[in-house]
Chains A and B, each alone.
Chain A
């Protein structure tokens, strides 16, 4: 048991429990807070995987901006209490079926990952992933996707404004 493995196991347990909390929570606010906890643990996992810049982005953009938007909309709509209709769906067989299919998907994904993607390169080199290296990649080989992403964000802004505008 290396220290890395102990930290990983602790973080993995926290993130899985947070995800299950999101799944079972009766209150939308609590569900959003569980998701923020999950994002924070994944950010620490990014740090362990030698991606410090991504970890910061994860906390500031995902756990910060996106989840604030979620919480804002939940409170704006006053929809935090999940109504009784949530529990008594008309299709009773749906929940066990979903859990069964999910377990099947997990077994499949685990099998494929373990059997097909477990070989390592001959000489894995440690990556430098500071802001400078990320910036060189972003404005070098990935310049066109970067520009297309900026157009996508502009379209999203305009779409959100048009959709929520009062007639």
Chain B
């Protein structure tokens, strides 16, 4: 154990909650939010290790993760809006066929 271990353990706990959210929720928007929670907990681990080793590279990775998350949210929400237009639902159990 050292000074950043609590942060890393909190990050692992938040990641686990995100995983359980993805596995149990059926609403596509909530699954997306759980993915954001997982990305965020990974960011927390990056920043904690950057603090532990005294190097900025971990913080740089957090920047790129945030940019990728923004791009992912824009495209993902566009997909959800498009699916909602044709299916009138955001429940992932309703999306069981490949043909739209």
Contact = CB atoms under 8 A, between A and B. Distances in A.
Interface residues of B, number: 71
A27 to B, nearest CB: 10
Contacts of B7: 8, 45, 49
**A interface, over-half SS:** helix
A159 B68 CA distance: 14
B56 A98 contact: no
Given A117-B8, A152-B71, A129 B56 contact: yes
B1 to A, nearest CB: 6
A98 B21 CA distance: 9
A10 interface: no
B85 to A, nearest CB: 9
Contacts of B40: 38-39, 42, 62
Contacts of B26: 85-86, 89
Given A12-B10, A117-B49, A164-B78, 20 more contacts: A28-B29, A45-B10, A49-B48, A49-B51, A53-B59, A66-B36, A70-B29, A77-B81, A86-B25, A86-B91, A90-B93, A101-B23, A106-B16, A113-B9, A114-B9, A120-B2, A121-B52, A121-B53, A134-B63, A153-B71
